Chain A
Amino acid sequence: MVFEKDLNLDATELRLGLPGSSEESIRISNKRALPDMNDDSGVAAAKKCDQETAPPTKAQVVGWPPIRSYRKNSLQTKKTEAETGGMYVKVSMDGAPYLRKIDLKVYKGYPELFKAMEDMFKFKVGKYSEREGYNGSEFVPTYEDKDGDWMLVGDVPWEMFINACKRLRIVRGSEARGLGCVV
């Protein structure tokens, strides 16, 4: 079997994992295995696999590798927990009496996140455009990133966002305009 190094298969991989979740990397090696090229079924990039099982082309042999069920079950529990640990961030809205918390891992992308925030705080997010930010609403969603800067929600890819976001703030009115105008 030939193993190729450093091939990023993540981008084309179809997974049944939780949206936005990524496999916790406990490997320090960068080597990745290609599916068996000699496989007659011709499976290439499309892999439907859950978190723990190998790509189907590498048929899982019963009882191999030979590790005790107890150990195997422990590892799987840990992986599942690592991936479903939750990514809770505080959400505040100007004028609201108390803050809320939401789990970013639960959402697949920005539309779902906004819907949840809208439901929670009873407001409407405006229409997003790269040039102008959010139009058509008094409220603008912002977040504090790892550097402590307040950023407009929606500019970066979802994955990048949920890893960078420390807390959310729904900014209102005149304050919002400053962020909403992208020069």
Chain B
Amino acid sequence: MERTIVHINTENWACYIPIIINLPSKYTTQLQTPFRPLFMSVPRSSYLYFEKEKIFNHFEPVLKELEINNKNFYLQFNSEPVRWNAPTGVFFDMVCKSTNHPEKMPMNLQINFEKVPKKFIEFENETEFYNYYASTFKESCFLLSKSATITQKITENIMANIWNGLKNLSFDEYKRSVQPLEIKYYEQPSLAIRIFLNKQCIQKPIKPINQETEELITLLDIFKNLQLVENGKTVPMTYLIQGITPPLNTPLAFLSASCSHPDGFLYLIITTLN
């Protein structure tokens, strides 16, 4: 079982999402020189934030030509801002895959140099982003143990090593760094899960085992709890974890162990089709 979990995690960390970043027409119509979009492959398990400098460097000549002094920018998918603080794969599953239409590749993004939208979380520098990531990771750990049992073990050194594992996109390094925290998903009082139901986030403590039946809680149990099951069948909907649709009887503890993102959360993306 442990080897399967490690194998799945390794595969998830090795997945990339092809994206293309274009200029909106409001900028291209003003350009004298031809413009080339930016093509990238971004790790599903990582954050677009790490690509900010590369993106900016590609578009800097355009900024100079348009005489735009603003160095701040954000990305959009069909006018929906791409959050820097959401794992890339989570955003992709929410906007690109969870529709009635066939998945469109590459993910087509537009860059915008105007004032960022309200409530959009900005990070002035990498230190701010590190602090944000560290807090999210600690939040997931606290939720797992329903106490400070795990978070108390997270020293500055351990957190820095976990961060390096993420930045280097090395699951081996990440796994070694997390080892001292001794997280045992099947035995934890709760699981750290974020459910996006039609893009609305639901986060609640979910036990790995049903206390009455002593059976593992499965995806179907969660859907029943969310009232997405009628007459024994799920309502018309799509659901994704790391871009795939696991069987309904898959235990959540197994999914948490094998498919959680580097921030410690398992993301379940549900889109109802009504």
A and B from one assembly?
A: no
